[in-house]
Amino acid sequence: MILITGATGHVGNNLLRSLSKKGETLRLFLQPQESVGALDGTHFDLVVGDIRNPEDVNRAVEGCEKVYHLAGLVDIAPKQVNLLEEVNVLGTRNIVEACLKYNVKRLVFISSVHALPESPKGSKLKELGAAAFPNTTLLGAYAVSKSKATAEVYKGVEKGLDAVMIFPSGIIGPYDHRGSQMGSVLKTLLKAKNMKTYPCFKGGYNFVDVRDVVIALQLAMEHGRSGEGYLITGHSITIPELFQLVARWMGKTTIKLILFPLWLVKFAARIVVKFARLFNKKTFFTPYSIEVLDSNSDMDHSKAVKELGFKPRPLEETINDTLKWFSNHLNNYKQKKTKHHRTKTKIRKRSKHINVA
């Protein structure tokens, strides 16, 4: 029996489908408010509970030989820092303790490159050992929470737990049902298909395909060295290059890019966040996201290549597949919405006819 936490997320959904195709016996641990609508076509046992509750976690882990711990809160403009701590850190601690209690053969934990301190520009980001965690000086509450969560796994390793950690960069790819940060950006660009002028700045980042992350998780489960962490990264791309790829996919031969200075972008991001909080809206345009896009994105995944056989696919393939998936997803949504509207109209007309009669 294999347990997956966070199966309704972008990575979890893809991992569930991959393991399901292989005929694995699966159990999912989901929070009470989560929907399983995007998991159609897969087979699994289900345990519903709160990852912050040790008893709920114990029920989920008991009887499982392998555990993929993917559940976590991702928030680049957190309103409730305490919730990040509870879900990401306490939740991971509960998973680790349950794995030790029930003698789980291996735990694979998905951390983040944000849990690692940024390397100076001109040098590559590499894996760090247990002594580097937790780091409370990192940029943003999310990064700190992931560093603390990673430390919890290392504590488990010290107690005899067989665990492997992966540190993915920015995850992007198809089957993004809940809308990741970069997925939301791409979806926004698709909706604004008539836009000819793209405002941007000279930032960029390293992105890895969600399908490659799923492959890396399974490689880590089968071949990773116990107690080791692996950078799972893809390719770096600048924002102007990304916009040009998107425009090319949409059939635009020429676009106009307006490059704004970084100081102005950071100032605008602070204003956007204030308005988003005022109207209780989420935004991917935050001071934290701007800092990330301005950071050093030169990352070294050679360890994962050598020890796991990891090989990221070309980024253009990822972008094209993601845009295709979002385009189909948006079209299907529009069709369902139109069909639903027509059905409501027919019902109203029929009701009106009955009432008149």
Per the structure, the count of domains in the chain is: 1
Task: Assess if residue 198 is contained within a domain.
Answer: no
Q: Would residue 15 count as lying in a domain?
A: yes
Query: What confidence score (pLDDT) does residue 79 get?
Result: 63
Q: Is residue 41 part of a domain?
A: yes
Does 341 fall in a domain?
A: no
Euclidean distance between CA atoms 210 and 10, whole angstroms = 7
What's residue 42's pLDDT?
A: 79
What per-residue confidence (pLDDT) applies to 76?
Answer: 53
* Domain contains 269: no
Q: Which of 300, 289, 242 is nearest to 266 (CA)?
A: 289
In this structure, what CATH number is given to the domain that contains residue 95?
A: 3.40.50.720
Which alpha helices (H) appear in 181-314, and where do they start and end?
181-191, 210-223, 239-249, 262-278, 287-293, 302-308
* pLDDT of amino acid 232: 97
Angle, helices 54-61/91-101, rounded to nearest 10 degrees? 50
Q: Structure pTM? A: 0.87
Beta carbons of 156 and 92 less than 8 angstroms apart: no
One pLDDT digit (tens) per residue for the chain, 357 residues: 999 999 989 999 999 999 999 999 999 999 888 877 778 777 888 999 999 999 999 999 999 999 999 998 886 555 677 888 999 999 999 999 999 999 999 999 999 999 999 888 888 999 999 999 999 999 888 899 999 999 999 999 999 999 999 999 999 998 888 778 788 888 888 887 777 788 888 888 999 999 999 999 999 999 999 999 999 999 999 988 998 888 889 888 777 888 888 888 888 878 887 877 777 777 777 877 888 888 888 999 999 999 999 999 999 999 999 999 988 876 664 444 444 444 333 333 333 322 222
In a domain, 343, yes or no: no
pLDDT value of position 78 = 57
Domain for residue 94, yes or no?
yes
pLDDT for res 256:
86
* Contact assessment for residue 212 and residue 234, using Cβ atoms and an 8 Å cutoff: yes
Amino acid at 250: M
Residues 241, 246, 297: CA angle, nearest 5 degrees: 40
Say what the pLDDT of residue 332 is.
Answer: 60
For position 331, what pLDDT does the model report? 63
d(CA 224, CA 226): 6
The reported pLDDT for the residue numbered 250 is 87
Q: Is the dihedral angle over the CA atoms 57, 138, 80, 293 positive or is it negative?
A: negative
Residue 304 lies in a domain: yes
What residues make up the domain containing 153? 2-173+206-235+297-313
Which amino acid, residue 291?
E
